[in-house]
Amino acid sequence: MSKIPVDVFYALIAAAGGAAKHLNEYLHQQEEFAWPKLLANIIVSGFSGYVFTSVVIGFNPEWAIPAAGIGGYMGGNAMDYLFTILSKRVSIKQDE
User: Per-10-residue mean pLDDT for the chain, 96 residues long?
Assistant: 84 94 86 87 94 93 94 92 85 64
What pLDDT does residue 27 have?
A: 87
What is the distance between the alpha carbons of residues 33 and 48, in angstroms, rounded to a whole number? 23
Among 62, 58, 65, CA closest to 86: 58
pLDDT at 19: 93
DSSP 90: T
How far is 19 from 46, CA to CA, in rounded Å? 10
